[in-house]
Structure 1
Amino acid sequence: MSLKVISLNDDQNNMDDSFDLGSFQLKEHFKSKKEVLSQDRIYVYCPPELANSIGIIVEDYSFDIVVNDYTVTDFTKKVICHYQSSDLTKAQRKFLVKATEYGAWVEPLVSYLDDRLGYTEVRLLHSSYFLHQKAFSILSHKKTQVTKRFVDIVSAVLLLIVTLPFSMLTMLLIKLESPGPILFKQKRTGQYNIEFEVFKFRSMRNDAEKNGAQWASKNDARVTRVGKFIRKTRIDEIPQLINVIKGEMSIIGPRPEREVFIEDLEQEIPYYRFRHAVKPGVTGLAQVKYPYGASVEDAVWKHKYDIHYIKHHTLYLDIKILLLTVKTVLFGMGR
Structure 2
Amino acid sequence: MTDVTNELTLNQTGGASAGDFIELLKPRVMSLVVFTGLAGIVLAPGHLHPFLAVVAVLCIAVGAGASGAINMWYDRDIDAVMSRTVKRPIPSGRVEPAEALGFGVTLSVLSVVVMGLAVNWAAASLLALTIGFYVFVYTMWLKRRTPQNIVIGGAAGAFPPMIGWAAVTGTIDPPSVLLFLLIFLWTPPHFWALALFRNGDYTRAGVPMMPVVAGAAATKRQMLVYTLILLPVAAAPFFVGIAGPVYLAVSAILGLMFVGCAVRVLRADDDGPARRMFGFSILYLFLLFAVMMGERLINGGWA
TM-score > 0.5, shorter chain as reference: no
More helix by share: 2
Provide the TM-score with structure 1 as the length reference: 0.21
More strand by share: 1
Provide the TM-score with structure 2 as the length reference: 0.23
